[in-house]
């Protein structure tokens, strides 16, 4: 997946989240490795994690001293 990242998260929704060497948090299609989403947050320093709140799934990732949360939409 291009290096960097601090870890990998695979979801039941067939997405794989990790950081890349360019400072992006990237979601890949688990079936073929195609990037489907990214956000430039800086060097990802942990394995992304996920949780559900009020029926919506969120992805958390840290970059430096900042924690980012993204909502997953269908």
pLDDT of residue 1: 46
Q: Does residue 28 contact residue 14 with C-beta atoms inside 8 Å? A: no
User: Considering the chain, what is the average pLDDT of its residues?
Assistant: 90
Its pTM surpasses 0.85: yes
Helices (H), the chain: none
Going by pLDDT thresholds of 50, 70 and 90, the confidence category of residue 3 is low
pLDDT of residue 69: 96
Burial of 47 (0-12, 13-18, 19+ CB in 10 A): middle
Q: Show the tokens assigned to 36.
A: 């489907």
pLDDT of residue 61: 95
């Amino acid at each position: 997946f291009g290096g960097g990242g601090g870890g990998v998260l695979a979801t039941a929704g067939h997405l794989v989240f990790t950081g890349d060497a360019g400072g992006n948090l990237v979601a890949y299609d688990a079936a073929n490795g195609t990037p489907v989403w990214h956000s430039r947050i800086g060097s990802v320093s942990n394995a992304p994690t996920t949780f559900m709140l009020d029926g919506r799934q969120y992805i958390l990732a840290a970059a430096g001293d900042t924690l980012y949360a993204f909502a997953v939409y269908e």
